[in-house]
Amino acid sequence: AQGSTADSGKSRESSTQIIFQEILLLLDQSLKAYRDDRTREASESAFDAYLTYELVESPLITKRRDLGLKLESSFGRLQAEIKRKAPLDLVDKIGQNIAADLKEAQQILTQKIGFTGLFIQSFSIILREGFEAILIIAALITFLIKSRNRDKLKAIYTGVMIGIVASFLTAYILHSILDISMANQEIMEGVIMLVAVAVLFYVSYWLVSKIEAAKWQSYITGKMQQAVSTGSAFTLGLVAFLSVYREGFETVLFYKALYLYAGETTAGIIPGFFAGSAVLGVVYFLINSLGMRIPVKWFFVITSVFLYFMAFMFMGKGLHELQMGGAMSMTLADFAPEIPWMGMYPTWETFIGQMILVAAYAGALFYTFGIKQERAVHELKSEATQIQNNITAVHDLVEHISHHAKRCEIFLKDTRDHDLKELSEHLKEIDSKVHELFDQVLYFENRLSDEYDRLSQPIGAREKELH
C-alpha cells in the first residue's frame, strides 16, 4: 500500500512537471514569435499557454490563491499587450515575470502536504467560495422575515437546494461526460455571472423603489407583505440559485483538485470542510440577528446597496471570464485600477461594463427619488385640491341645513301644540349637531390647508420638517 501511495505521488508529480514544461514551452514560443513580428502566432501561443496553465490553476488556487490569480491576470495582460503591439521590452518583461511565477507555482504544487495543510486549504475553499453566497442568502431571508413574508422563504430554500444539486451535476457533466475545454468553462462562468448581474440589479432597484415615501407609508402600516408577489418571490429564489450555482460548481472542482493533489493523505479535507461550513453558519446567524435589529427602512437601503455592489463585482468578473475564455476582446486601459476582489480589471471592456452599471443605478436613484417622487407629490396636490373642494361643498351644505333648521325653530317657537314643540326640540338638537359637524369640517379644512402648504415645499424642506 505504501508503495502504491508513493507511486501515485511520483506519477502526480511527474504529470505536474510535464504540464509546467508545456506552459513554459508555449510561453517561449509566444515571445519568440513576437520578437519575429509574428503577432497573430504570438497571441495564439500565449492563449494556448494560458489554457494549459488552467490545468493546474484550481489546485494552485487552493494552495496559493494570490499566486494563482496573479498568473491568470498576467496571462491576460500578456495577450492584451501582444494584440495591441506593445514595445518588445514590455512584452518580454511580462513573459519573464510569468515564467518566474510558474516556477514558484511548480514548487508549491510538488510539495508534500500533511493533515494541517489540507485542513487549512479545505477550510479556506469553502469559506472563500461560500462567503459571497451566504451573504446574499442571509440578506434575502432576513428581508422576507422583516417584510412579513415568511411564506415566501420556500422560494429561497428551493433556489439554494437546486443550486447545490445543479453545481454537482454541472461539474460532473462538464468534466466526466462532455470533457469541456477550459476556455469554454471560462465562457460558461462568465455567462452565469452576467445573468446574475441582471437579476441582482433588478432586485436591488426593486428594494430601493420601496423606500419611496408614498409606498413606504403603506409598508409601515402593515401592508408590507403584499409587496412581495409570486413573481417577486420567484426572482428572489432565482438570486439565491444563481448565488449558490455560480460558486458551487467551481467549489466542487476545487475540492476535486485538492483530492487529486493530496493523493492518499486526504484526512484533513473533510474536517476542514465542516469547520468552514460552521463559520459560514455563524456568519449567517450574525447577519440575520443584526438585520432583525436594524430599522426596516435602513435594512432595505443596506440590502439594496449590497446587492448592487455584488452586481457591480459580477459584471467585472463575468466580462473578465469571457475575455480569458477568448469570447471577448481585451483592450488595456492603463488608467483603470486592478482590484480583482471588486471585479475591477485594467481593460476597457470591464471598465465600460461597470460604468454602464454605475450610470444605470444612478439613473434609477434619480428617477425614484427625483422624478417619480415629484410626480407623486403633484398627484397628491391634485387629490388634496379635490378633497378641499369637497370639504367646501360639505361646508356650504351644513350652513344651508343650519339655516333651515333655525327658520323652523323660529316658526315653531310660540306654538302651543305639543307635537310641534317636540319637533322644535328635535330641530334644536339637529342645529347643535350641525354646529359640531361644522367645527369638525373647519378643523379638517385647516389641517388639509397646512398639509397642502407642506406639499408645496421642496422635498428636502419637507424631510427637515418631518424630523
**pLDDT at residue 172, as a whole number:** 80
Burial 391-420 (b: 16+ CB within 10 A, else e): beebeeebeebbeebeebbeebeeeeeeee
Query: Long-range contact list for 370-376, CB < 8 A, 24+ apart?
Result: 372/212, 373/212, 373/213, 373/459, 374/459, 376/212, 376/213, 376/214
Report which of residues 312 and 133 the model is more confident about: 312
As to burial, measured by CB atoms within 10 angstroms (0-12 exposed, 13-18 middle, 19+ buried), residue 204 is buried
pLDDT at 81 over 80: yes
pLDDT at 111 over 60: yes
At 342, which amino acid appears?
A: M
Give the mean model confidence (pLDDT) for residues 326-337: 86
**Percent of the chain whose pLDDT exceeds 70:** 73
CATH of domain 2-110: 1.20.120.660
pLDDT at 467 over 80: no
Give the mean model confidence (pLDDT) for residues 357-382: 79
Q: How many CB atoms lie within 10 A of CB 277?
A: 14
Which range, 43-47, 222-226, 240-244, 295-299, has the best average confidence (pLDDT)? 43-47
Q: How far apart are CA 250 and CA 266, in angstroms?
A: 20
Q: Could you report the per-residue pLDDT of 273-289, keeping only the tens digit for each?
A: 999 999 999 988 888 88
Cα distance from N-terminal residue to C-terminal residue, the chain: 76
Give the residue among 52, 58, 65, 69 at the shortest CA–CA distance from 18: 52
pLDDT at 217 over 50: no
Which range, 171-180, 205-214, 328-337, 398-407, has the best average confidence (pLDDT)? 328-337
Q: Could you report the per-residue pLDDT of 112-152, keeping only the tens digit for each?
A: 777 888 888 889 889 888 888 888 888 888 888 877 788 88
**Percent of the chain whose pLDDT exceeds 90:** 23
Give the mean model confidence (pLDDT) for residues 242-257: 82
Report which of residues 259 and 224 the model is more confident about: 259
Q: What is the mean pLDDT of the chain?
A: 79
**pLDDT at residue 202, as a whole number:** 85
pLDDT at 32 over 90: yes
Cα-based angle 428, 432, 437 (whole degrees, multiple of 5): 145
Sequence-distant (6+) residues with CB within 8 A of 207 are 143, 300, 303, 304, 307
**pLDDT at residue 1, as a whole number:** 41
What CATH topology corresponds to 376-466?
A: Helix Hairpins (1.10.287)
Q: Could you report the per-residue pLDDT of 161-178, keeping only the tens digit for each?
A: 999 999 888 888 876 666
Report which of residues 422 and 188 the model is more confident about: 188
User: Which range, of 47-56, 319-328, 399-408, averages the lowest pLDDT?
Assistant: 399-408
Give the mean model confidence (pLDDT) for residues 26-37: 94
**pLDDT at residue 212, as a whole number:** 54
Give the mean model confidence (pLDDT) for residues 246-260: 80
Q: Could you report the per-residue pLDDT of 378-435, keeping only the tens digit for each?
A: 676 677 677 767 667 776 776 777 676 666 666 666 666 666 666 666 667 777 777 7
Give the mean model confidence (pLDDT) for residues 91-118: 88
Report which of residues 209 and 355 the model is more confident about: 355
C-alpha grid cell, residue 313 = 463585482
Q: Specify whether the CB–CB gap between 320 and 343 falls below 8 A.
A: yes
Report which of residues 109 and 50 the model is more confident about: 50
